[in-house]
Amino acid sequence: DAKTTQPTSMDCAEGRAANLPCNHSTISGNEYVYWYRQIHSQGPQYIIHGLKNNETNEMASLIITEDRKSSTLILPHATLRDTAVYYCIVRVPEWGYGGSQGNLIFGKGTKLSVKP
């Protein structure tokens, strides 16, 4: 799986958009970008994933650059409950696409602190 680089920590004011960057300059053509978050002492939570087009769901938006070497997760209106560690992971979507299957490789992620 390709490696990712994320800032160690970020702050965001409550109600403002939180923009979390991720660099993945060695991403392969068949690898997707996945985002997870982990709120303290809970299991990680899947947020969103994408290949090359921008994606949006009820939780967040994912913007992937045209060259696919970086992406940004956007939480449009951050709340205190969004305080968590956010992980950016690049990998194939399922078995049969090549690469490491089954396991998600979690780096250190970005600790997002949403402040009142």
Partner 1 sequence: KAGVTQTPRYLIKTRGQQVTLSCSPISGHRSVSWYQQTPGQGLQFLFEYFSETQRNKGNFPGRFSGRQFSNSRSEMNVSTLELGDSALYLCASSFQQGGGEQYFGPGTRLTVT
Q: Looking at 21-29, 59-67, 73-81, 91-99, which segment touches partner 1 (CB under 8 A)?
A: 91-99
Interface map 44-83 toward partner 1 (x if CB under 8 A): xxx--x----------------------------------
**Spatial separation of the C-alpha atoms in residues 75 and 84, rounded to whole Å:** 12
Three-state DSSP string of the chain: CCCCECCCEEEEECCCCEEEEEECCCCCCCCEEEEEEECCCCCCEEEEEECCCCEECCCCEEEECCCCCEEEEEECCCCHHHCEEEEEEEECCCCCCCCCCCCCCCCCCEEEEEEC
Tokens matching residue 67 = 């060259």
Residue of 29, 42, 58, 67 that binds partner 1 (CB under 8 A)? 42
Q: Is 105 one of the binding residues for partner 1 (CB under 8 A)?
A: yes
Q: Is 106 one of the binding residues for partner 1 (CB under 8 A)?
A: yes
- Residue 34: CB minimum distance to partner 1, A: 5
Residue of 40, 67, 94, 116 that binds partner 1 (CB under 8 A)? 94
Binding stretches for partner 1 (CB under 8 A):
32, 34, 41-46, 49, 89, 91-96, 100-108
